[in-house]
Every structure is written in structure tokens, then in C-alpha cells.
Structure 1
């Protein structure tokens, strides 16, 4: 065995974004009977996108029309070391297994965020299944400037409209006041099935019953092992910090500022090309931060983001 095998892996998402496709490896192939994301080896001279489109034409009989980079994971099997380039495919023409014969034993649609109903699944895909449970829009609180009552009112409205991920920031308050706000946000979020992470304070996260912890870039630099929470993320400003978050096994990162923000209008931000460059070969979902609006979600994902993080406009 020598070298790394580049593989294009398709995370096919139905229009509502709540279901993804798994395919079962056929008899005669390595790991026959195991379930995986469809795709295959990148041939010499091909880009990952070209390989993904070709493989899905050959395996499923469809033609992908919209896809974007997402995550890259490297995994060593007994027979090979593979670099899995996961791309999200969100639109295609043709019907699976109708316009051409299936190359898989079976395919099944699975719900994002719930346990898979098929087994066994290739071990390299475990982190991907968890990443698919992560909402694509994060609201970051700013109750210090807006006021607690107004902030909770807006959060209630946003949760009713589908928001499912909140980061409680507001780091300027005394611990007791911050805890009270975190508890109120957590109660509100849990009533809607949403996730809450607390910025910078593991003790408040535990006391508030939050789902996780969000590390500042300073905490990330000082961190030697993954904190013991279901969800852990970090604020990052460079490709190196994103790589560090991946090495620690964190679940997501924020990268920015991408665009000018109301608080720093004089700064042009990274811009989308540089944002995409810093995500090259990222191992974990990354949210675009800075100057984001809901209507920029597609643009962010086209440049490799998992989603967007908003301090205003959520």
C-alpha cells in the first residue's frame, strides 16, 4: 500500500435539507454490505467536482447540477489510506436507479440528526453523520446591547421560524447575570428542539444545561484535549486554527470576519475567495462569520462553508 487515494463522496440532500442518501456496497467489493455515501475514486486529470458528477452518473444514473465542497476526512483502511472529499449535492436531474441501473445493492434516505436505520456503516463516516445533525444557521446573542427582554423575544420568533442553533455570548456580564440569561435561552431553545452552546465558560454551560461549549481563539490555542460536551466549537481566524480545531476533534468552527460588519465597517473582511482558501481540506464544518445575512447562506456554502453565523439579522 502506498500513497493516498483521493475519493469524491457525495452527501446528497433532498430539497428540504433534512434527509441524506446512503448506499450499500455491492457483493464483490471491499466492505461489501457496508453503507456509505455514494462516490468514488478521483481519476488522474479530474477535479473532485468532475469525479463526483461522473461517479453519480455511473452509480445512480443521475446528473448533479448543484454541488459544493464541505469537509475532507482522511481514513486508513486495511487495504488503503483514503482522503474523502465530501461535497454536498443539492440538485440533480434523473431518478435514482431509473435512468440507469444501480451499482449499489441498495440505497436508503436517512433523516439528518437521528440514528441511522441501516447498518453497518463504514467507520470513516461517523463524524459526517454527526456533522449532518448540525444546523446551518447559528444565532449569536447580543443581549448586552439589545437588552434581555428584547433578545428573548427575538429568539422566540426566530425559533418559531426554524432557528435551531444558538451561541450565548454576552461575555461582559458578571457570572450570575450571564448564567441567568443562559438558563433562559436554554429553556427557550429546548422547547423548540434547538441546540445551545455557551461561549468561553464551561461552568456556565454545565449549570445552564446547555448542549455545548464554544471556545474563543485564545481558549482553542490553550486547549490540549476536547472539552467534555456533546457539542464543542471554536472561533478561528486562520487555516491553522481550523486545523487545530480538527485535531482536537471539535464539531465545528467559525471563521471570519468574511465581509464588513456594522461594528467594523472600515474593515473589508477576508472576502469570499480568501474564506474559501482557508477552508481548503478542512476536517470539520465551518460557519462564515461577519457581515452575514440569511440570504448569503447559499453563497457561503458555495465557498465551502457549512453555514452562516449571525449576530444581527437572525
Structure 2
């Protein structure tokens, strides 16, 4: 069994969502390939300490604010690596190529540099996800009010989860919601309805934890996510190469009045185990919880009631 090399990588993010890639310099494996800046951990270093050192050495940048994100394990012909990624929202210093590399700002889904280092492929997909994942609430708002608010608020992503509806009712609602979503470029995820998502042309499917654990392979849709509550379910989502997971519930919520919430500490402990997919904090979330969720390693927050007020 080969020794695993631990690497810290940083995703520098600008306010418009663009991110920085750098080319690997001559003399290194995969020279000329594009990757996120970073490097190997030295003895006794934490991932964040290593990243801070590497960015100063490589590009003259001092990290002022960074949050842990996802962990990717990858086997190259020359090495096995465990990459711990951080999102960097604030830094000091002018980006300068200290090792003869090139740098280029990129937009999610619209790369104009290549080739990309193989381990970075799944990371690029995760960067297309929003910080806030929105969940429908027709059950409490009523269909007419919900559709009106949906057209007004125009969320970037929507999970259509309405367990009170039967199959026929859900399809009729999905058709109406999809029409609105296509007009305003909202990605629509149908809940536990992969075949319907394919038939209607929705963007993907969101799975309940129960449905997730019954699957042997990933549904054949562009985007697939799942709800999770523990490490076993996060492991199942990872094994199927899902695009994201919701984890909860984190705070008290009327949806689960008799169940104890996980709390922020448990969320942080679970995410510190390292998962190869973005994870959202779910349950009792408010817009003001976004920064706290990110500090604990979450990609963002999932909102239901708070999304529509």
C-alpha cells in the first residue's frame, strides 16, 4: 500500500463567483496542467497552516479568511494524495508567480484553460453550487402563493419536496414549477422522482436518506443530491459520487419537533472526517447562519421556511 501524501489546496474566490487556477511549473509531474494553488503538508503542520505557507511561497498572498470545504482522495501514477480544500474569501497581497507558473481567473462551468489536473475535476463541479439551497414549502404557503413567491424571489436552485402530495398531484405541481424555473434559470431538483425528472427535463433529483441507502448506482441525471443525517449516509452519498448532500437537522425546527438537533459541534465533527462532496447544513437555518455553517466546514445552508419570507 502506497503512502498517502497530504496536500492543502486553496480556492481563491472573488465576489462575482470567479476562482483562481494556476498552472503547474516545468519540472513537476503533470507540468502545464491547471490546478488550485497549494502544496504538501510539512511535519507538524495543520492543513490551513500549510496552505498559508504555500500561498506566500508560491504567489505572495497572505490568507486573511478561509473556511474548510471538501476532501478529495486521488491515486496518481506517481503518488496517492489526500487533498484538503479551503475556500478563501479574503487575502492580502498582489498575486505574483514565484515559481514560473501562470494564473487565470475562471467562471464556474465556463473554463477557458486546459488540461485540468485530474483530482480537481469534481471540485470544479462543486463550485457551480449555490451557497444557499432552497427547499419548497407549498404545504404551508399554498400552491398559488408559493408559485407567486417563486417567480418573485427567483432562487438559483430549488428542491421540490412536497411529501403531502400524491404522485399525480406532485407531477402537476412539478410541471408548473418547472415552467417558472426555466424562465428564470432556476435549477430544479425533483424529490425522490428520478424518472419524472428525466421525463420532464428537470435538472436533477434529490434523494431522501431512505432512498439513498437503497441505491446501488447513481441515477442517470445531470445533478443528484441527497439528505443525510450521519456518517453512514454521507458515506453512501460519497460512494455514489453524488454532487452534494444536506446534513441535519442542525437547529430545532417545526419539521422535526420531537427529534434532538445535531447542533453545530456535531456538524463540525462529522465534516472534519473529510468528504468528497459539498455538504449543506439543514434544519432550522436562517440566512444569518451561512457564515457559521461555512466555518464548520459546510458548503452552505439549506433553507425551507426562511427562504420564502
TM-score norm. by structure 1 comes to 0.94
1:311 positional shift: 0.9
1:106 to 102, 105, 112: 102
* Alpha-carbon distance in structure 1 between the residues aligned to 2:188 and 2:125: 16
Say which of 160, 163, 177 aligns to 1:168. Answer: 160
Query: What RMSD, in angstroms, separates the aligned Cα atoms of the two structures?
Result: 1.4
Give the Å deviation of 1:104.
Answer: 4.4
Aligned to 2:219, the other structure's residue is in SS state: coil
Structure 2 alignment gaps of length 5 or more? none
Q: 1:175 to 1:164 in 2, by over 3 A?
A: same
Q: Which residue of 1 aligns with 2:269?
A: 277
Q: Which residue of 1 aligns with 2:12?
A: 12
**Whole-Å Cα distance in 2 between the matches of residues 33 and 26 of structure 1?**
6
**In structure 2, which of residues 136, 139, 159 is the aligned counterpart of residue 141 of structure 1?**
136
Compare 117-126 and 168-177 and name the one that shifted more: 168-177
Structure 2 partner of 1:190: 182
Deviations 1:227-252 (A, max 9, x none): 00000011101012111101111111
In the alignment, what sits opposite 2:68? 69
Confirm or deny that 1:294 pairs with 2:294: no
Q: Residue by residue, what CA displacement relative to the aligned partner does 1:203-234 show, whole Å, maximum 9, x if unpaired? A: 22223321001111111110000000000011
SS of structure 2 residue aligned to 1:300: helix
- Residues in 2 aligned to 1:32 and 1:154: alpha-carbon distance in whole angstroms: 50
- The answer for unaligned runs of 5 or more in structure 1 is none
Q: Give the counterpart of 1:124 among 119, 123, 128.
A: 119
Equivalent residue for 1:31? 30
* Cα distance in 1 for residues equivalent to 2:210 and 2:254: 24
Per-residue CA deviations over 1:102-160 (Å, capped at 9, x if unaligned) read 32420000002x2310011101111111111111211111212211111111112221x
Count of paired positions? 306
3-state SS, counterpart of residue 313 of structure 1: helix
Q: Is the Cα–Cα contact under 8 Å of residues 202 and 213 in structure 1 kept in the other structure?
A: yes
Aligned to 1:304: 297
Distance, in Å, in 1 between the alignment partners of 2:291 and 2:152 is: 23
| 1:179–1:208 Cα contact (<8 Å) kept | no
Q: Distance in 1 between matches of 2:164 and 2:262?
A: 27
Q: CA deviation at 1:294?
A: 1.1
TM (norm. structure 2) is 0.96
Deviations 1:15-74 (CA, angstroms, capped at 9, x unpaired): 23x100000011111111110000000111010010111111111101001101111011
